[in-house]
Amino acid sequence: MTIPNELRSTLELLQRGFPNGVDESDIVPLCRILQDDGEMSIRTTALVLGELLGCDPVVMLPLIDRSTMDDLAGSYRVGEIREHLKQYGFEEWLNEE
């Protein structure tokens, strides 16, 4: 699946940050970061993560829902993942329009 051009930089950031894939336990906190910090919608989060993980974006919807409700998504992992992504251009990505 091809994602829209406006989501390409998000996908590239995540590919740089997770060249060997995203650990299953990090998907929910990553959803939280994309939606809270990146102000991404459920749809765009699903599209990017589906492309990154090689799955249908619909598969991502329950995990995205969980990230909005689950206190575990607000745990220390969110901060650790955010810090990890900073070395791959996270701050620059946040400042994109």
Q: pLDDT (tens digit, 9 = 90+) per residue, 31-47?
A: 999 999 999 999 999 99
Band (72; pLDDT cuts 50, 70, 90): low
Q: Which of 41, 40, 39, 57 minimizes the C-alpha distance to 3?
A: 57
Where along the chain do its domains lie? Answer: 5-94
Cβ-contact 48, 90 below 8 angstroms: no
Tokens for 92, please give them: 């620059």
pLDDT tens digits for range 17-32: 999 999 998 999 999 9
Q: Positive or negative CA dihedral for 94, 34, 69, 43?
A: positive
CATH number of 5-94: 1.10.150
